[in-house]
Amino acid sequence: NAGVTQTPKFRILKIGQSMTLQCTQDMNHNYMYWYRQDPGMGLKLIYYSVGAGITDKGEVPNGYNVSRSTTEDFPLRLELAAPSQTSVYFCASRLSSGSGADTQYFGPGTRLTVL
């Protein structure tokens, strides 16, 4: 049971390039999340999904896109990279019981630098 896996671990992009951050979970969790972490700012939610085919915006969605075609995978797409997207990106998943008490499980993160 690998939990939540993310690839790549590190990436350097040039301004205007595109890339997809991959996230996979093997726990059959219905909810999945993408966060970005900037120093001193905590974690900000970019997008989340409550199940395959359903996604919704979080607090900071601009410049990103997501899709969820399967339960396991939740890729995050950056279309036109900008220096402001330099950050550490975390994917998380959760098995929803209908309450807010469920634990979110996090991947190891992707460190992205845009130059």
Question: Would you tell me which residues interact with another protein (CB under 8 A)?
Answer: 4, 31, 33, 40-45, 48, 50, 58, 90, 92, 96, 98-101, 103-104, 106-109
- Pick between residue 17 and residue 58 the one whose CB is nearest to another protein: 58
Phi and psi angles of residue 33, each rounded to the nearest 5 degrees, phi first: -140, 150
Distance of CA 51 to the CA centre of its chain: 14
Q: How far is the CB of 72 from another protein (least distance, A)?
A: 18
Looking at the Cβ atoms of 67 and 104, the one nearer to another protein is: 104
The least distance separating another protein from the CB of residue 9, rounded to whole angstroms, comes to 9
CB closer to another protein, 59 vs 79: 59
Q: What is the DSSP letter of 65?
A: E
Three-class SS state of 84: helix
Question: Is residue 10 within a helix (H) or strand (E), and if so which, with residue range?
Answer: strand 10-13
Specify the DSSP class assigned to residue 83: G
Closest distance of CB 62 from another protein, Å = 18
Two tokens at 49? 């999904």
